[in-house]
A and B are shown apart, each in its own frame.
Chain A
């Protein structure tokens, strides 16, 4: 979302041409197909995150872009040039590995300046550039340190500075935050995002952490079993997941089956019949028709919960409270509705009504609920 505002400053032509294009990429290891046909376009200055469970092929795809592995078929086009056959040292992409891969026999400054030296920069320019980079990552006082004398977060910054030293066209980050502890991860996430936006550097970020992915990205690429399941902004992927897997992967979700009983073509109001009662919603999707079997994607925080006072409102289901777990910023409620349980997040529980075990409660399903068409 933020990116679209930024795009206004750019020359239209440049903004239109994707910085990186993946065209029907396949990758086999022996007979094992780990990437099964992936196509993607990444705009200049965009931060795109590959996210998915382990083994989904996200790191392999990153290594294919970096040139560490050959594609079995398909094309990789970087800034208009096909780079399939270029080895990593001739590609204008730079990678930051999960373990940082800093050279332990060199100082911080030597690490950051390694690429410049390899590319035969004159000594004074190397010095100036290294200084500039270290200032950028706030490590200017650490140039002479050896790598093992740095903390994890500092090592991460050095790796970042080293990858940026040659101003690559695309920066590849392979789970860069996974070796940091939780608090530091939040800080570094913000720093990386700020730097990336400031430098307008096209970045591909790989992570298995869906919340990290949503927080940092312009667009998410959700992968599973070597295929892209969905590409979209964090909001799109969270609010309008393409299928059950994505709905469950990007956050907790309550599913409920139903059948479309009627659709008002003008207002797009629809009625869904479920085995627990009638749910009325406003359809935002065009691909749902009357009579379709659907799955409602009900996010825990979108449901409101209150005590059952006997009255029967719209979209209200009644049930029994099975557990109420207070966790500071929210309370997790488990409600049993006939034969199923529903998880409900009640935010700011201090100011809300609190519930006791086995209390009769009602839950209200929002009208904005997202629907998945059931495949039969």
Chain B
């Protein structure tokens, strides 16, 4: 059976000249096709935003930018956004470092539970924290009423707190990753030479972690200034760029000004992206034979321990309370105001309809995203054509782009022919695909790096054509990466708000948008119940993902590739 098949393939591949050419260039043709997709669905919308910001009724103009920089309101908005970014980044780094230090250097019994608590926010949509803060400290909030508190939640401080909580897991994961890859013998050597815990931190741990910390800081900064939900829900009268863009488009239908705001928001992101890619390149410290090993607990002096324990406890406690409060609130019409336990929030038709829509959109996005991700990874790793790194850069950039920008971009790019997509499920799905492409591509790349090219060469050597090799060898090996890309895209898409909020059409609500609206209009019960449904879905996805990565060690490999 097999030999016969092989000989057929041999004949086929040694057939016509045209076929040979096709065979030899298939990877380039695939690359070209993928690049067209990227150009059309990722670059074009961004360029559309850029053009819109420069084009008035009578052609090219800088009028809108002049308006932006001359109006105090916009300046305030920019200032708030950047300040929020800086504060958030610093606080998240400190908390993330404390948590990561405790889970990698602290007592054994604390490590696992602390790690779980640190990662719990991952299963929540980022705006869960805004919601829980409203429940606790809002005008009718539990704490507000209980203690007759007059703290104004809506405004800068509220946004900072909810954002911080939302970004703890990201900070934690990145710092934990670098701490894990730091050979514990280095710190032990310093300890052995007579250094105290504080001295080790100052002279060894932090200097060696610096590149990793800087990386984490840049990423958190970019994601936090672009984050839409918390600022939109809790911002109140305090202007921030991302929600301002939304009001500009949906409220005032001013696409020019909306585009300007987007471009201003995008600028720091691009800057950070380049710093990340070029400045930090090669900024790593290598050590001999240092494979990731768990460090044994230290005998930490109480004085050093105290800040760690205080910060860790507060962070862990806050995360815990926020989840609990939303869970409880989902069983009341309005927690603290009405006193009957009800299930009506969970049975609410519009909420379930929105969840159903979200699942549909995310599923479509996940299928397309996973396929494109695997193909892109293959082209990036194995291709030898000019512009390979450019394709890699573009496909990974969606992650760093503010969601609002791609939201407006899609609105501008696909609301008129040649490709009119607005109003359908496809525009939502495609938007999610290209925004979250990075993860699928990363998973694919790290999986491919584990496969020796010799395996493919062996297949070719035995007479298989490029397509046969790809189909019979590459795809089966890449399958775990495909599944990981699928699930990751699915769970990211289902909670994402910032881009789709521009793209949903009336009558077709998505869960995230439903929560956003409900939170803004004070339907706390519905908002909480819908959030809990999302939490449940994401939790299931995570369990599946965890199961797969344990089975295929995909997780381990991605971890290694992200070492210090």
A interface list, Cβ under 8 A from B? 63, 66-69, 87-90, 93-95, 97-105, 114-115, 118-119, 148, 152, 155, 162, 165-166, 179
Known: A69-B296, A101-B183, A101-B186. Contact between A88 and B286, CB under 8 A? no
Contact (Cβ within 8 A) B195 A94: no
Q: Which chain A residues border B190 with CB–CB below 8 Å?
A: 103, 114, 118
The answer to the question of B196 belonging to the interface, with a C-beta cut-off of 8 Å to chain A, is yes
Q: Which residue of A lies closest to B299 (CB)?
A: A87
The verdict on B290 contacting chain A, using a C-beta distance below 8 Å, is yes
How far apart are the CA atoms of A103 and B183 in the complex, in Å? 10
Q: Please measure, in the bound complex, the distance between the C-alpha atom of A115 and the C-alpha atom of B203, giving whole angstroms.
A: 12
B188 & A88 in contact (Cβ 8 Å cutoff):
yes
In the bound complex, what is the Cα–Cα distance between A105 and B546 (angstroms)? 36
User: In the complex, which residues of chain A have a beta carbon less than 8 angstroms from the beta carbon of B289?
Assistant: 98-99, 179
Q: Is the CB of A155 within 8 A of B288?
A: yes
Q: Which residue of A lies closest to B189 (CB)?
A: A101
Contacts of B183 in A (CB 8 A): 99, 101
Shortest CB-to-CB span from B107 to chain A, Å, is 12
A101 touches B195 (CB 8 A): no
Give me the interface of B with A, judged by CB distance under 8 Å: 183, 185-186, 188-196, 199, 203-204, 207-208, 285-290, 296, 299
Question: Judging by beta carbons under 8 Å apart, are B192 and A95 in contact?
Answer: yes
B108 CB, min distance to chain A CBs, angstroms: 8
Distance of A151 from chain B, by nearest CB (Å): 11
Q: Is the CB of A148 within 8 A of B192?
A: no
* Additional pairs, 13, CB under 8 Å, beyond known A88-B188, A98-B289, A99-B183: A66-B192, A69-B296, A87-B191, A89-B196, A94-B192, A97-B189, A99-B289, A105-B207, A105-B208, A114-B193, A114-B195, A179-B288, A179-B289
Please give, as numbers and ranges, the residues of chain A lying within 8 Å of B188 by CB-CB distance. Answer: 68, 88, 95, 97, 101
Q: Which residue of A lies closest to B284 (CB)?
A: A104
Nearest-Cβ distance from residue A191 to partner chain B, whole angstroms: 19
**Known A89-B191, A95-B188, A95-B192; contact A100-B288, beta-carbon cutoff 8 A:** yes
With both chains docked as a complex, state the minimum distance between the C-beta of A268 and any C-beta of chain B, in angstroms: 51
What is the CB-to-nearest-CB distance from A64 to chain B, in angstroms, rounded to a whole number?
11
The 3 closest A-B pairs by CB, nearest first: A115-B193, A101-B185, A104-B285
- Which B residues lie within 8 Å of A119 (CB)? 194
Q: CA A89 – CA B197 in complex, angstroms? A: 9
Least Cβ–Cβ distance between B209 and chain A, in angstroms: 10
Q: State the Cβ distance, B14 to closest chain A Cβ, in Å.
A: 47
B300 to chain A: closest residue by CB:
A87
> Of B196, B288, B296, B299, which one neighbours A99 at CB under 8 angstroms?
B288
Closest to B204 in A: A103
Please state if A103 and B186 are interface contacts (CB–CB under 8 Å). Answer: yes
13 A-B pairs with CB atoms under 8 Å apart are A68-B188, A89-B193, A98-B185, A98-B289, A99-B185, A100-B288, A101-B183, A101-B188, A102-B189, A103-B208, A105-B208, A115-B193, A118-B193
Interface centre among B183, B186, B290 (most CB of A within 10 A): B186
CB contact between B195 and one of A69, A102, A118 (< 8 Å): that residue = A118
Does B195 lie within 8 Å of A89, measured CB to CB? Answer: yes
Residues of B within 8 Å of A94, CB to CB, are 192-193
CA distance A166 to B193 in the complex (A): 8
Q: With the chains together, A187 CA to B192 CA distance in Å?
A: 27
A88–B297 Cα gap in the complex (Å)?
13
* Chain A residues, CB < 8 A from B288: 99-100, 152, 155, 179
Please report the C-alpha to C-alpha distance between residue A100 and residue B285 in the assembled complex, in whole angstroms.
Answer: 14
With known contacts A68-B296, A99-B183, A101-B185, A148–B194 Cβ distance under 8 A:
no
Check A88 against B192 for contact (C-beta < 8 Å).
Answer: yes
Say how far A20's CB is from chain B's closest CB, in angstroms. 16
Distance A152 CA – B296 CA, assembled complex (angstroms):
26
Residues in B with CB closer than 8 Å to A179 are: 288-289
Bound: A280/B296 CA distance, A: 55
- C-alpha spacing A89/B191, complex, angstroms: 5
Check B186–A89 contact: CB distance below 8 A.
Answer: no
